Amino acid sequence: MEIKFSKWHGCGNDFVVIDAGQYGRVIDSRRAVQMCDRHFGIGADGVIMVGNSAVADLSMRIINSDGSEPEMCGNGVRCLALHARRAGLVSGSCLRVETLAGLVIPEIVATRAGECQVRVDMGEPRLEAAQVPVITCERQFINRTLAVADQCWSASCLSMGNPHCVLMPPDNRPLSDELVRRYGPLVERMDIFPRRTNVEFVRFSRDNEFEMKVWERGAGQTLACGTGACASLVAGVLAGRLARRATVRLDGGQLTVEWDEANNHLFLTGPAQHVFDGYYPLPD
């Protein structure tokens, strides 16, 4: 059996996009791991299955490269939006997408250069510790010290429909891949995170710009994370380091995040690009 797929990426965070109605029954976590393998499969950070929805225009289910299933993905939903229009699944520029984190609304917008970007209403950040979840005796875990192995970090834990732990080095040191790979997996699986967590490492340059590297729950180090960019902006604002609108510089490109003061929603804007289409033969 062969599965028809499209390969997309948002700032280097890449996905295999397939039709859930046609292939959903045969794509389980084991199959998704095979497809995401960068040596023996298609290669991706995750598989996105696009399906019908009773409450929205489309539904989005994601399986990470390790077989786990996250609630939401900001880069993934931008890829889904442009894929849906390219495939004729929707006709307008704005659509409603059902996810495990709730309803997400991406809007396709054009830049001055004529390129398509997608602006996503990511909803409100959830700051209560029980909503992340993170185990603590306090109601919130915002701007707290977190000891990880031999290093102490200023940390904020919040949810964007999925859990995030934003780490801010006290000396604002330059970020490195070595730093991410050393501390990312340790934080992801700390006992205080019963559902594990995504881990963002941030460095501030100006109040409207910051650098971020990410260790994603279930995928490891990736080139970008949309929900992580939103969580990092919130953490930076609450720490008094960022304005409510900022550019995020990631390994795979740039995103813009805005935290609207009027309705408390976060808006994520960035690119998504089609890479190629193909057919994948399912291994026995």
Q: What is the pLDDT of residues 242-254, one digit of tens each?
A: 999 999 999 999 9
Same domain, 214 and 276: no
Tell me if 135 sits within 8 A of 191, measured CB to CB: yes
β-pair partners for 58: 97
Residue 152 shares a structural domain with residue 101: no
Q: CATH number for the domain including 220?
A: 3.10.310.10
Looking at the fold, whether 98 and 214 belong to one and the same domain comes out as no
Same domain? For 83 and 137 the reply is: no
Residues spanned by the domain of 170: 129-264
Q: pLDDT value at position 111?
A: 66
- What residue has token string 């949810």? 159
The predicted pLDDT at position 171 comes to: 80
pLDDT score at 283: 67
pLDDT-above-90 percentage for the chain: 91
120-145: average pLDDT:
97
| Buried-exposed string 188-212: b where 16+ CB fall within 10 A, e elsewhere | bebebbeebbbbbbbebeeeeebbb
- The type of residue at 178 is E
pLDDT of residue 112: 62
180 and 96 co-located in one domain: no
Give the model confidence (pLDDT) of 168-191 as tens digits.
987 878 899 999 999 999 999 999
Same domain, 197 and 223: yes
Q: Per-residue pLDDT averaged across 231-238, rounded?
A: 98
Phi, psi of 187 (to 5 degrees): -70, -40
Do 254 and 205 share a structural domain?
Answer: yes
Whether the pLDDT of residue 214 is over 80: the answer is: yes
Domain count for the chain? 2
- Count of beta carbons in the 10 Å neighbourhood of residue 230: 29
Q: What is the residue-wise DSSP string for 175-201?
A: P-HHHHHHHHHHHHT-TT-TT--EEEE
Query: How far is C-alpha 143 from the geometric centre of its chain's CA atoms?
Result: 22
The residues that are catalytic are: 73, 225
Task: Check whether residue 158 and residue 239 sit in a common domain.
Answer: yes
pLDDT in tens, 15-34: 999 999 999 889 999 999 99
Percent of the chain with pLDDT strictly greater than 70: 98
Q: Say yes or no: 108 and 162 in one domain.
A: no
HSE-CB of 182 using CA atoms within 13 angstroms = 9
Residues 147, 252 within the same domain: yes
Q: Residue 284: what pLDDT? A: 62
pLDDT of 110 over the 80 cut: no
Same domain, 143 and 259: yes
| Residues 39, 111 within the same domain | yes
